[in-house]
Amino acid sequence: MESTQLIRPHHGSRKSLWFGLLGAIVVIVGSILLAYAQGQKKEAEKMNPTKPMPADAELRNKLSKDQYHVTRECGTETPFHNAYWDNHKPGIYVDIITGEPLFSSLDKFDSGTGWPSFTKPISPDSVVEKRDTSHGMERTEVRGKTSDSHLGHVFDDGPAPTRERYCVNSAALRFIPVEKLKEEGYGQYLSLFQSPQGQQQQAQRD
C-alpha cells in the first residue's frame, strides 16, 4: 500500500498571501477614501459662497438672453412658457449663476400663475427680500443672496403653513433632480427626500 505524503505549504508562501491580501485591502480602502474626498471637494466648490462672482461680460456669454435679462436686468419671463412652471419632479432648484441651493420641490405648488411657486426657500439665508415699487406697484422682490440675482417676488397669498408664495422665474434657476444630487455635489440634500413627504413625491413620479 502506497503511503500518501501531505505537502505542507511553505511558510513563505503563506506570508506572501497575507501581504497580497493586505495590499489589496489598502488599495480598495484608498480608492474609497479618494472617491469620498473628491466628492467632498466637488460639493465644497459648488457651495463656496466666497467664490468670486463672474464679471458682467462673462455672464453675458455664459447666460442665455432670457437668463441675463431676468437675473441682471430684473426682467420677467412669460408665464406658462418657461422651463419649470409645470415641473413635478423631485429635486432642488439652484441659482443659475452661483449654484447656491434656493428652493426644493417639496415646497413647490401649483399656484395657477404660470411661474414656479414655492412656500419657502430651502434656507432663509439663501435669499434676500427688498421693497420694490417699480411699475407703480408695491411688492417684495426676492434676490439671490450670493449672486444678487433677481429671482422674482414673494406674496402673502400662498397655502398653509407659511401663507407665502415665492413666485420665481425659471430663468433664474437650474433644476437638479434627486437622482443627480450626489453626482452634482449636493449630496447633503438627499436627506430631504428621505422624509415621508419626499418619498411620497418620488413615488408619485414613478
Q: Would you name the residues annotated as active-site residues?
A: 167
Residue 135 DSSP symbol: G
Angle at 167 between CA 49 and CA 93, to 5 degrees: 40
Annotate 133-172 with b (16+ C-beta within 10 A) or e (fewer). Answer: eeeeeebebbbbbbbebbbbbbbeebeeeeebbbbbbbbb
- CA dist 108 and 84 (Å) reads 10
DSSP assignments along 110-131, one per residue: --SSSS-EESS-S-GGGEEEEE
Residue 82 DSSP symbol: S
What is the three-class DSSP state of 9? coil
80 torsion bin: left (phi>0), alpha (psi -120 to 50), beta (else):
left
CA distances (Å), 112 to each of 30, 85, 116, 155, 158, in order?
52, 9, 9, 14, 11
